[in-house]
Structure 1
Amino acid sequence: MLAHTPEPPYYTVIFTSVRTEVNEGYADTAARMVELAAGQPGFLGVESARNDVGITVSYWANLEAIRNWKHQAEHTLARHQGRKNWYQCFKTRICLVERDYSFERQPE
């Protein structure tokens, strides 16, 4: 399912990663982070996919909401666990969405 976002402008955080072989605790923590982010002021939605490279895109109302999420205590602990156990490498990109458009197939 794709995230339902408002009319631009809004922000995205694009988190791309390559995992290690360690799986213990990862799925539960990832699910908890989505649950926790959804409760943060300014959170708009999230989309995620994983193959050899994982990509998670979260959508936010403004930069302040992103900063607050970064400094949320439980999220900070999860980031430390990720560096220690789950990620071979990752990159975070913060972007301003100035325009978006969509397509949805209608039932025949």
Structure 2
Amino acid sequence: MSGIAKTPQPPYYAVIFTSERTSGDHGYGKMADKMVELAATQPGFLGIESSDRDQDGLGITVSYWESLEAVRNWKEHSMHKVAQEKGKTVWYQRFGLRVCKVERDNFFEM
């Protein structure tokens, strides 16, 4: 999935994950792809947007969900929990997670 996610009319929820990686891949790329594929099959998943890491190594991924229940279910998914643990022990120097309710959106397209 790439580009701007096609989300429904608000309200819906955005999970914003910002991270700074450790050096080396250590299986990160493969697991990241697998998590996007898995998330896309989960009930309540609406889409995902991700930026490439900038020169400072900051990565930003935003996933969209129809409800807080869907967000919680994804957080607790067994394979996602494996990736979360590996992130804490191997892949990330630091990360932040924000869950937001989207009440309004606006898009422009040529």
Same fold (TM over 0.5): yes
Q: Distance in 2 between matches of 1:92 and 1:6?
A: 22
Q: Distance in 1 between matches of 2:71 and 2:64?
A: 9
In the TM superposition, residue 64 of structure 1 has moved relative to its aligned partner by 0.1
1:92 aligned to 2:101?
no
In the TM superposition, residue 22 of structure 1 has moved relative to its aligned partner by 2.7
Give the counterpart letter for 1:77 in structure 2: V
Matched residue, 1:71:
76
Matched residue, 1:48:
50
Larger radius of gyration: 1
Identity across matched positions, percent: 58
Matched residue, 1:29:
31
Give the counterpart letter for 1:46 in structure 2: I
Q: What secondary structure, in the 3-state scheme, does the structure 1 residue paired with 2:34 have?
A: helix
TM-score, scaled relative to structure 1: 0.95
Gaps of 5+ in 1: none
In the TM superposition, residue 60 of structure 1 has moved relative to its aligned partner by 0.1
Aligned length: 105
Q: Distance in 2 between matches of 1:22 and 1:11?
A: 32
| Runs ≥4 residues deviating over 2 A | none
Give the counterpart letter for 1:62 in structure 2: S
Residues 22 and 85 in structure 1, CA contact (< 8 A), matched pair in contact too? no
**Deviation digits for residues 63-101 of structure 1, max 9, x if unmatched?**
000000000000000000011111000000000000000
